[in-house]
């Protein structure tokens, strides 16, 4: 699976949009971009995933560049409960492949 690179930490004001970048320059054509987050002392929570089109769900939006070498997770109106470590993972969709976590981005939402 392709390696991903994320900034180690970010801050965002409550109520503002949080934009979390991820670089995956070696991603292959059959690898999806997955985003998970982990709130302190809990199991990771699925947020969203996409292949090449932008995606939106009730939690977030995922913007993938046309060359697929990077993406941005957008939390449109961040709340204090969005404080967590966010992980961007490139993963092929064939079968039950291993989900390997990098260091992620520690997002802190400030009041």
| Contacts to another protein by CB under 8 A | 34, 36, 38, 41-46, 85, 87, 93, 96, 98-104
Q: Closest CB to another protein among 1 and 14? A: 1
What distance, in Å, lies between the first and last C-alpha atoms of the chain? 37
- Shortest reach from residue 83's CB to another protein, in Å: 15
Using a 10 angstrom Cβ sphere, with 0-12 exposed, 13-18 middle and 19 or more buried, the burial of residue 47 is buried
- Shortest reach from residue 31's CB to another protein, in Å: 12
Q: Closest CB to another protein among 41 and 66? A: 41
Q: What is the rounded distance in angstroms from the CA atom of residue 15 to the CA atom of residue 46? A: 22
């Amino acid at each position: 699976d392709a390696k991903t690179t994320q900034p180690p930490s970010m801050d965002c004001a409550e109520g503002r949009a949080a934009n979390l970048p991820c670089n995956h320059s070696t991603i292959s054509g059959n690898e999806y971009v997955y985003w998970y987050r982990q709130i302190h002392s809990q199991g990771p929570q699925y947020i969203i995933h996409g292949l090449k089109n932008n995606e939106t769900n009730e939690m977030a939006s995922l913007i993938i560049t046309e060359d697929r070498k990077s993406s941005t997770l957008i939390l449109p109106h961040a709340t204090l409960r969005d404080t967590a470590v966010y992980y961007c993972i490139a993963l092929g969709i064939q079968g039950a492949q291993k989900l390997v976590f990098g260091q992620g981005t520690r997002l802190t939402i400030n009041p």
